[in-house]
Amino acid sequence: MSEPDTTIGTAPAETVEGFSVRRALSALGRGDLASVRVLLGIAVIWTIFQIANDRFLSAVNLSNLTLQIAAIATISIGVVLVLLLGEIDLSVGAVSGLAAGAMAVLSVQQGWPPALAIVAALGVGAAIGLFNGFIVTQFGVPSFVVTLAGLLAWQGALLWVLGDTGSVNLPPSIITDLTSTFFDPAIGWALGIGGVVIFAGVEIHARRRRQAAGLGVSAIAGTALKLGLVAAAVIAAVAILNADRGVPLAGLIVVALLVLFTFITERTRYGRHIFAVGGNVEAARRAGINVTRIKLSVFTMASMLAAAGGILAASRLLAVNQQSGSGDVLLLAIAGPVIAGTSLFGGRGYIWSALLGAVVIGSISNGMDLLALDSDVKFMITGAVLLGAVTIDAVTRRRREQSG
């Protein structure tokens, strides 16, 4: 296949060591550089809100933003897994509320050890996810219908679990420590530098393995640029967080989950099977992939992650009530990954879109709170952002199919 023409009319496109600006713009238009598009969007959003309110980019507010998005980002990781299958889970918000409610009642009212109550809450999430997957795979009911029914049923279950009190306050314990623990600056720097070193080691090892296998690798300059950007982002994040209270435990939990599920989806056979099922379920079945097992496991993990998100939300708010997991939780959990480039049509996306999308949505919500906008305006703006993201996803998917 010949190299694409790098001229526009008679003027050559700008290139730097083989990089073509026109190619990059074309890739953005096809949706191939979704993460770059999202990062540019975050930069624009932060600039707008900083101009509108100079407290937006303060260390205190960015530290608060980290805690605010932790729960949504955790739930969104599970949403990404389901979306990669070409399915949808509309019950994640309700599941997060129910799991948090079960944890609070067991810990506060039943006297269970907090750690055991957390495990039980995660078990509640796993059981619900397994049930969802069973109905979808064994009866062929669309996941939209199954999880929509769950959205209503699990909200009702939360009301039943909480009982007449309607609210349970969480006393200081390991549960509240999840979002109230901050590490000393020295520990924060050690964690940040260690993370960068590990990331560099993984990238270099993967590059060498590809070379040894005779596979194509990107230019060394591209790898160096990638490592440099990651290092700069980590250093900036640690510096900002240390300027306030330090690196939060909740943030580390989210990052650990992102790394774990990125490894699962991108470096294991199981992860490749998830993408295969999402890309073409019938072709995956004919290739010998156990589609039923893949779907059951993914729905189970998604609901467990929803439960984990509910636990983090309860930890930050120090309480669980009848509204836990309701409101805009579901919208934000789904909108984030879609905005960051995970397709609603299955087979395309990446786990880190959960974090990038949560940053986008969380930044918009946080900025509107600083500007004291009314709730009706906030909902309309958030809805418009989601509609725009879905539209972009549909358009780029059409362009990719046409160009392919």
95 inside domain: yes
Greater pLDDT, 39 or 179: 179
39 in a domain, yes or no? Answer: no
CA 126, 254, 306: angle at the middle one, nearest 5?
25
**259-305 residue pLDDT tens:** 999 999 999 999 999 999 999 999 999 999 999 999 999 999 999 99
164 with 289, same domain: the answer is yes
Residue 372: its pLDDT value, please?
86
Give a yes or no: residue 72 inside a domain.
yes
**pLDDT confidence bin for 381, thresholds 50/70/90:** confident
User: Could you list the residue range(s) of the whole structural domain that residue 318 is in?
Assistant: 44-181+269-403
Same domain, 167 and 196: no
Mean pLDDT taken over the chain: 87
- Please give the pLDDT value at position 202: 87
- pLDDT tens for 90-143 read 999 999 999 999 999 999 999 999 999 999 999 999 999 999 999 999 999 999
| Position 367 in a domain | yes
Percent of the chain beyond pLDDT 70? 90
Q: Are residues 49 and 176 in the same domain?
A: yes
Query: Given this model, what pLDDT does residue 210 score?
Result: 82
- For residues 385 and 294, membership in a common domain is answered with yes
Distance of alpha carbon 281 from alpha carbon 289, whole angstroms: 9
Q: Is the pLDDT of residue 149 over 90?
A: yes
Residues of the chain with pLDDT > 90, as a percent, come to 65
Same domain, 279 and 399: yes
Domain CATH code at residue 172: 1.10.3470
**Confidence class for position 155, pLDDT limits 50, 70, 90:** very high
Count of domains observed in the chain: 2
1-27 pLDDT tens trace: 343 343 333 333 333 344 444 555 555
Q: What sign does the CA torsion over 29, 34, 37, 38 have?
A: positive
Question: When comparing pLDDT for 328 and 148, which is higher?
Answer: 148
The dihedrals phi and psi of 338, each to the nearest 5 degrees, come to -65, -45
- Residues 243 and 390 reside in one and the same domain: no
Question: Which pLDDT value is given to residue 392?
Answer: 73
pLDDT of residue 264: 95
13 domain residue, yes or no: no
* Domain shared by 138 and 198, yes or no: no
| pLDDT confidence of residue 403 | 66
Q: Residue 85 pLDDT more than 90?
A: yes
- Angle of CA points 130, 133, 134, to nearest 5°: 85
Distance CA 123, CA 110 (A): 17
- Has residue 27 been placed in a domain? no
- Give the amino acid at 261: F
For residue 91, being part of any structural domain is answered with yes
**Looking at residue 5, what is its pLDDT?**
40
Listed range (157-166, 252-261, 289-298) with the worst mean pLDDT: 157-166
Residues 60 and 117 placed together within one structural domain of the fold: yes
Residues 170 and 274 in one domain: yes
- What is the chain's alpha carbon radius of gyration, rounded to the nearest angstrom? 22
- Residue 391 clears pLDDT 60, i.e. is over it: yes
156 with 227, same domain: the answer is no
Q: Which tens digit of pLDDT belongs to each residue from 42-79?
A: 899 999 999 999 999 999 999 999 999 999 999 999 99
Shared domain for 230 and 159, answered yes or no, is no
Residue 253 lies in a domain: no
Statement to judge: residues 168 and 193 lie in one domain: no
Please report the pLDDT score of residue 12 as a whole number.
38
Residues 212-236: tens digit of each pLDDT: 888 777 778 778 888 898 899 999 9
Q: What is the pLDDT of residue 351?
A: 94
